[in-house]
Structure 1
Amino acid sequence: MSYIKKITIVLVIANITFVNAQKILTKEEAIQQALEHNYGIKIAKNNVEVAKNNASVLNTNHLPTVSTSAGANYNNSNQDIVRQDGSATSETGAETKSYNASVNLNYTIFDGLGRKYNYKQLKETKNLTELQARETIENTYLEIFDFYFQVAQLSENTENLKSALQISKSRLERAKYQYEYGQNTKLEVLNAEVDVNNDSINYINAKQQFVNAKRNLNIVLGVSQGVNYEVETDVVFSKLLNLEALLNKAKANNVVLMQNDKNITISKYSIKANKAGFLPKLGLTTSYGWNKSINPSTSFLAESSTTGLNAGLNLTWNIFDGGSTKTRVANAKIQLENQEILKEQQVNIIENTLTNTWEDYNNKLFIYNAQQQNLDTAQNNFDRTNEKYKLGQVSSIEFRQSQINLLNAQNELNVAKYNAKFKELELLQLSGEILNIGF
Structure 2
Amino acid sequence: MMNRIKFSLLAILALMQLRTEVLAQDPAQLEVLQLNLKETLEYALENNVDAKNARLEVMISQTTIKEETAAGLPQINGSVGLTYNPMVPVMFVPNEPPFGDPSNPSDVIPLRFGVSYSANAGVNMTQMIFDGSFFIGLRAAKTYKQLTEYDKVKVENDLIENVKKAYFGVLVNQERIKLAEANLARIDSLLEETKAMNEAGFVEKVEVSRIQVQRNNTFSQLKQSITAYDISKQLLKIQLGLPRNFEIEITETLAELNPEDDLVAIQTMEGERRVEMDQLETNLELTNLDLKNNNAQYMPTLDFSGNFTRSGAGDSFSSTYDPINWFSSSMLGLTLNIPIFDGLSKSARIQRNRLQIQQLENQRFYLDQNIKLEIYQARENLANDLEVLAVQRESMELAQEVYDISKIKYNEGVGSNLEVVEADAALIESEINYLGALYDGLISKVDLEKALGILKVGLEE
TM-score normalised by structure 1 residue count: 0.85
Residue 286 of structure 2: aligned partner: 266
2:49 to 20, 25, 39: 39
| Cα RMSD after superposing both structures | 2.7
Q: For residues 91 and 127 of structure 1, do their structure 2 counterparts lie closer, same or farther at Cα, with a shift above 3 Å needed?
A: closer
Question: What's the secondary structure of 1:229's corresponding residue?
Answer: strand
**8 Å CA contact retained: 2:180, 2:218:** yes
What is the distance in 1 between the residues matched to 2:89 and 2:362? 77
| 2:454 is the alignment partner of 1:428 | no
Q: Does 1:217 align with 2:267?
A: no
Equivalent position to 2:193, from 143, 154, 174: 174
Deviation at 1:355, TM superposition (A): 0.9
Does the CA contact (< 8 Å) of 1:176 and 1:189 recur in 2? Answer: yes
2:112 is the alignment partner of 1:86? no
Report the CA distance shift for 1:242/1:27 in structure 2 as closer, same or farther (over 3 A).
Answer: closer
Which residue of 318, 325, 328 maps to 1:307? 328
**Distance (Å, rounded) in 2 between the aligned partners of 1:138 and 1:226:** 25
1:105-254 aligned within 5 A: 105-111=125-131, 113-223=132-242, 224=244, 226-227=246-247, 229-230=249-250, 232-234=252-254, 235-236=257-258, 237=262, 239-240=265-266, 242=268, 245-246=270-271, 249=272, 253-254=273-274
CA contact (8 A) 1:128 1:262 kept: yes
The alignment's TM-score, normalised by the length of structure 2, stands at 0.81
- One-letter code aligned to 2:334: L
Distance 1:96 1:375, change over 3 A: same
| Counterpart secondary structure, 2:336 | strand
The alpha-carbon distance between structure 1 residues 227 and 386, as it changes in their structure 2 partners (threshold 3 A), is farther
Aligned length: 408
In the TM superposition, residue 92 of structure 1 has moved relative to its aligned partner by 8.9
Q: Does 1:362 align with 2:383?
A: yes
For 2:329 and 2:181, the matched residues in 1 are separated by: 93
* 1:381 corresponds to 2:394: no
Deviation of residue 62 (structure 1)? 1.7
Residues 348-392 of structure 1: CA distance to partner in whole angstroms, max 9, x if unpaired?
111112111111111112222222222222222222222222212
Q: Alpha-carbon deviation of 1:228?
A: 5.9
Shift of 1:259: 0.6
Contact persistence 2:31–2:246 (CA under 8 A): no
| Deviation of the 1:308 alpha carbon | 3.9
Structure 1 match to 2:369: 348
2:307 pairs with one of 284, 287, 294: 287
User: C-alpha displacement at 1:59, in angstroms?
Assistant: 5.8
Match of 2:66 in 1: 56
Q: Between 168-177 and 308-317, report the one with greater CA deviation.
A: 308-317
Indicate the residue corresponding to 2:357 in structure 1: 336
Match of 2:343, SS state, is: coil
Q: CA deviation at 1:166?
A: 0.6
What is the deviation of 1:288?
1.7
1:187 is displaced (CA, Å) by: 1.3
CA distance in 2, matches of 1:421, 1:143: 12
Conserved 8 A contact 1:74-1:97: yes
Aligned to 1:404: 425
Q: 2: distance between equivalents of 1:424 and 1:94?
A: 87
The reply to whether residue 278 of structure 1 matches residue 288 of structure 2 is no
Cα distance in 2 for residues equivalent to 1:380 and 1:176: 25
Displacement of 1:122 in angstroms is: 1.6
Quote the Cα distance in structure 2 between the aligned partners of 1:55 and 1:181. 89
2:266 maps to a residue whose letter is L
CA–CA distance in structure 1, aligned partners of residues 212 and 358 of structure 2:
73
Letter in 1 for 2:311: N
- Aligned residue in 2 for 1:13: none
For residue 407 of structure 1, what is the amino acid of its counterpart?
A: I
AA at the equivalent of 2:352:
N
Tell me the distance in 2 between the aligned counterparts of 1:90 and 1:22: 91
Return the letter of the residue paired with 2:99.
Answer: G
Q: Which amino acid aligns with 1:263?
A: N
CA distance in structure 1 between the aligned counterparts of 2:143 and 2:80, rounded to whole angstroms:
42
1:243-271 C-alpha deviation (Å, 9 max, x unpaired): 8x43xx3xxx2011111110111111111
* Aligned-pair CA distance for 1:96: 3.5
Stretches of 4+ moved more than 4 A in 1? 20-24, 57-60, 78-84, 87-94, 225-228
Counterpart secondary structure, 2:365:
helix
Give the aligned residue type for 1:50.
I
Q: Secondary structure at the match of 1:320?
A: coil
Is the 8 Å Cα contact of residues 54 and 122 (structure 1) preserved in structure 2?
Answer: yes
Q: Decide whether aligned partners of structure 1 residues 78 and 131 sit closer, same or farther in structure 2, where only a CA change above 3 A counts.
A: closer
User: Is residue 327 from structure 1 mapped to residue 353 from structure 2 by the alignment?
Assistant: no
Q: Secondary structure at the match of 2:326?
A: strand
